[in-house]
Amino acid sequence: MAFNARRTLTYGLGSLWIVDALLKLQPAMYHAFLISNVLAPAATDSQPAWLYHVMLAGAKWWVHLGILSNIVNFDIELIIGILILWGPDRVMGRTGLWLSCAWGIVLWVFAEGLGGLVSGSPTIIQGSPGSIPFYLVAAVLLLAPKTLWTKENRSRLARWGFGGFWLLGLLWQVLPSSGFWTGPGLAAQFGDVTMNGPEPAWLQMTINALVISAQTHPVLDNAIFSLIMALIAILNFWNPEATITHIVEFAWLLFLWAIPQAFGTLLTGTGTDPGMMWPYALLIVALAWPTQPMSTTKPVSVTAKNAP
């Protein structure tokens, strides 16, 4: 079967929303730990006053509704995922996509705090701009006309979208105002995630090792992180479908997801979604996955002529 990028994105996005819904069934999600370990840290993590009060109001409503709030959250995300699986060419599927945009914006503001974009020191290392923007991009792509899904358009979107994303991440990382050239500033990018819940001992030890390295060699470490992001940006601008681009980009995404982002806090019992790596990786597959056959053998003509 030929690779269908649009169908792949549809099934992937719908499945991600269903996984998000199932994560709401974790026992800890019905406990006060969700407020203290997830919502409260996001609201108090260097957010401006106006956003802090908005997120605080959302947290109060969550507490006020009690168990019902998590049940409603589960129902909404499960319904969105199931509807999206109907496909963007059907009314049910498009309804799910529009619902995903609306609910995604609510989550991005109240739960993710705009992905740290207005905190003064956003960084891809800790997951900025959050996972929701990639859900939204996927939904918008599926709502777009089919004419967008030509090979040329997908390659153009991949080149400028992925290249621009890593270029922006590079700028965040190297700006002196972000504080990542200092030990405390860079170490916080690894140490903050450990406050989100009881990480396993082996993961805690790995994160702590990076915290110590960042405190001891902040300039060297931040230079390495910045160079990696610069390399990925260059590779995407050059050819987002190249094998070397995928190898470097996926390896870096896996490192970010596993260590500084602690597997999206999935091992703590209070992980609300798998993290930004998965929707971003889905977009790579949908937009930049090679669709040309590997073989260079010319097809044999089937036009037959009778021999004289």
Is residue 293 in a domain? no
| Residue 303 burial (10 A CB sphere; 0-12, 13-18, 19+) | exposed
Domain count, the chain: 1
Share of the chain above pLDDT 90, in %: 55
List pLDDT tens digits, range 99-110. 999 999 999 998
d(CA 255, CA 261): 9
Report the pLDDT value the prediction gives residue 169, as an integer from 0 to 100: 96
Report the pLDDT value the prediction gives residue 194, as an integer from 0 to 100: 52
CB 293 within 8 A of CB 243: no
Is residue 130 in a domain? yes
CB 287 within 8 A of CB 6: no
Report the pLDDT value the prediction gives residue 3, as an integer from 0 to 100: 73
- Which of 208, 207, 212 is CA-nearest to residue 256? 207
Other CB atoms within 10 A of residue 91 CB: 9
Q: pLDDT class for 120, splitting at 50, 70, 90?
A: confident
d(CA 39, CA 275): 15
Report the pLDDT value the prediction gives residue 56, as an integer from 0 to 100: 82
CB 287 within 8 A of CB 161: yes
Single pTM value for the model: 0.88
Q: CA-based diameter of the chain, in Å? A: 89
Q: pLDDT class for 295, splitting at 50, 70, 90?
A: very low
d(CA 81, CA 11): 9
Is residue 256 in a domain? yes
Supply the range of the domain harboring residue 252: 5-287
List pLDDT tens digits, range 55-72. 888 877 877 777 888 889
